[in-house]
Chains A and B, each alone.
Chain A
Amino acid sequence: MSVIKSVNLTRKFGSLTAVNGLNLDIPEGEIFGLVGPDGAGKTTTMRLLTGILEPTGGEAWVYNKHVVKEAEPLKENIAYMSQRFGLYEDLTVLENINFYADIYCVSGKQRSDKIEQLLGFSGLIPFKKRLAGKLSGGMKQKLGLACALIHTPKVLFLDEPTNGVDPVSRRDFWKILYDLLKEKVTILYSTSYLDEAERCRRVGLIHKGSLLNCDTPDNIKSQYNTKTLEQAFIKIINEYESGHK
């Protein structure tokens, strides 16, 4: 079953085409890496698929909901964590989580269990009463993830969540993601770190709004006969640029 599907998804801002005819098909329980240089269209793709930006062309479905026509019901099942997850820095860790629990109407025993679980795996229990603004960068991102997961979403959109986060926190972060994958959560993960891209089940290279290649990391490497994804991607981008001169 494909959980994220897009057909010719396009978004133009005036004369600039931020996303150009994107075709994606991501099955349940997969972690899909969206890789590309800054300004490639990763964030726009995320926004289109989460129903907060309307496409100018093409269509997309997430968890069987059309991203334009069924944008509101769609939001019940997804979570989106933008590059800089907006935390209320003048509220404590627990108050932040509680706020999102209220917004998603998570209540009763389910709520207390979930909060305990999220605080547990994000390692934030000792910092429950600390103001979010006083957390380190890595902890802030983990708190952001905890807030995003409060309603047990089926699909998770993570837009460069570990940008500027130290390696240890990044490893913790990925541990959480692997646990989620076991629970059949589908994850679209955008990153500019290629070591993170290697951990994804499949990766899509996006450049100037177009998806240039989409396969498992191993297949891409063998297809271009390179040792690393980085080398493969440089080859792909160079090929594209010479073809468009």
Chain B
Amino acid sequence: MFERAQAILIKEFKQVLRDPRMKTVIFISPLIQIIIFGYAANKDIDFIPTAIYDKDNTMESRGLIRDFTYSKYFIPKRYIYTDIEQNNLLDKGLTNVVLHIDRGFARDLNAGKDAEVQMALDGSDSNTAMIVLNYANTIMSNYQQVLIDKQRDSLGEMSSGAQVDLRDRAWFNENLISRNYYLPGVIASIVTIMSLLLTAMAIVREKEIGTMEQLIVSPLKPLELIFGKLLPFAVIAVIQASLITTLGVLWFHIPLRGNIILLLIATCTYLFTTLGAGLFISTISATQQEAMMSVFLFYMPTFLLSGFAYPIANMPQVIQWFTFLNPMRYFLVIIRGIFLKGVGIEVLWPQFIPLLSIGFVVIILSALRFKKRIA
């Protein structure tokens, strides 16, 4: 039994390693992807181009502006003097934010009245706008605090009673670097697409060139064929995962706090599901083109509903139920848990069980379907 599977396995490796294009796809493209994603998957927002529209032009207004522009978040890109300019800048996207201080700001402030400041921002990218708004609120509340303290001083009051002081500490990703959160996910997504694509293509290619028919008339058993076909790509996927993990840790300084062996086991467990899906796709595709299309049809929902970019908790309930069938969902929790939290199997086992079950079901169903096709 093992001899024949081994023959296929060796043949598969020979074919992959002989093809220079394939070698590039397998070993170079994941590295390029991780480098690009490593720099691009960065949701930290700073140096926001800001336009200053100061109609008041007093010591107080300039003080507020200074508070904004001395933070690393807002950089004054231009100073404007009319409403038309303000609309124009936002329409053309030349600045994301306009800080607008109306005439009378200092007067109101000094008279003890509520003074108003307007911030106009480009809401077309709602995520960014929310974050910018947060920064602005923080700066404003600090400004306010200073005002209150000053008032108190001038009234000669002693520092008054208790205050609640919230000091936030982010655990696991102390500086809230979004790259640390995204890169483990990128590793998962590269492993997914590569293992899916390589498996489906390798099997369908044999159909296309006619060797599949030749294998079917041989005494080769379907299980031997499946085993010989899947194992090489499992090995390749593990090598890829190791390469990109190394690069992520050494180049992007992603913390890898957990057990590497557990990471490896998790990756292998996850590969069950993707290789099984690749096998399934190969049974429904007659040509490599069809296989490629099906892989992307399968990959897109897997990726979008995995919690990679959009939190699953925010999805409608029905879609959340769907995500329970998505193996990538569990793998992401595991891989982030191992990388950032350094937790072990004692915490992650509830993720391993569904992952293993899905993998088992997918691979058995695909193998059965494959067998039917072969007969």
Residues on A facing B (Cβ under 8 Å): 50-52, 54, 71-72, 75-76, 78-80, 82, 84-91, 95, 99-100, 102-105, 147-148
CB contacts (< 8 Å) of A87 on chain B: these are 209, 211
CA distance A76 to B375 in the complex (A): 16
**Smallest CB gap from B16: residue in A:** A90
CA distance A79 to B216 in the complex (A): 11
**Smallest CB gap from A99: residue in B:** B11
CB contacts (< 8 Å) of A72 on chain B: these are 219
Q: A95-B14, A104-B218 are in contact. Are A82 and B7 (CB under 8 A)?
A: no
Which residues of B169-222 are within 8 A (CB) of A? 206, 209-220
CB of B14 within 8 A of CB of A86, answer no
CA distance A148 to B7 in the complex (A): 16
Q: A85-B210, A87-B211 are in contact. Are A103 and B217 (CB under 8 A)?
A: no
CB contacts (< 8 Å) of B19 on chain A: these are 90
**Minimum Cβ distance to chain B for residue A77 (Å):** 10
CB of B7 within 8 A of CB of A52, answer no
Interface residues of chain B: helix, strand, loop or mixed (majority): helix
Our pick among B7, B14, B214, B374 for the contact of A80 (Cβ within 8 Å) is: B214
Question: Would you mind naming 16 contact pairs between A and B with Cβ atoms under 8 Å apart?
Answer: A51-B217, A52-B213, A52-B374, A54-B375, A75-B218, A78-B217, A79-B217, A82-B214, A85-B210, A86-B209, A86-B213, A88-B209, A90-B19, A91-B11, A103-B4, A105-B4
CB of A103 within 8 A of CB of B210, answer no
**Minimum Cβ distance to chain B for residue A86 (Å):** 3
Q: Which 10 A-B pairs have the closest CB atoms?
A: A102-B7, A86-B211, A86-B210, A80-B217, A75-B219, A86-B214, A103-B218, A52-B216, A84-B210, A50-B217
B92: CB under 8 A from chain A? Answer: no
CA distance A91 to B10 in the complex (A): 11
**Smallest CB gap from B7: residue in A:** A102
**Minimum Cβ distance to chain B for residue A110 (Å):** 15
**Smallest CB gap from B209: residue in A:** A86
B3: CB under 8 A from chain A? Answer: yes
B72: CB under 8 A from chain A? Answer: no
CB of B220 within 8 A of CB of A88, answer no
CB contacts (< 8 Å) of B210 on chain A: these are 82, 84-86
CB of A103 within 8 A of CB of B209, answer no
CB of B211 within 8 A of CB of A103, answer no
- Counting chain B CB atoms within 10 Å of each CB, which of A87, A99, A103 scores highest? A103
CA distance A99 to B375 in the complex (A): 22
CA distance A89 to B4 in the complex (A): 20
**Smallest CB gap from A103: residue in B:** B218
CB of A88 within 8 A of CB of B11, answer yes
Our pick among B4, B211, B213, B375 for the contact of A88 (Cβ within 8 Å) is: B211
**Minimum Cβ distance to chain A for residue B13 (Å):** 11
CB contacts (< 8 Å) of A71 on chain B: these are 375
B113: CB under 8 A from chain A? Answer: no
**Minimum Cβ distance to chain A for residue B222 (Å):** 11
Our pick among B4, B11, B206, B217 for the contact of A52 (Cβ within 8 Å) is: B217
Q: A72-B219, A88-B11, A91-B14 are in contact. Are A102 and B3 (CB under 8 A)?
A: yes
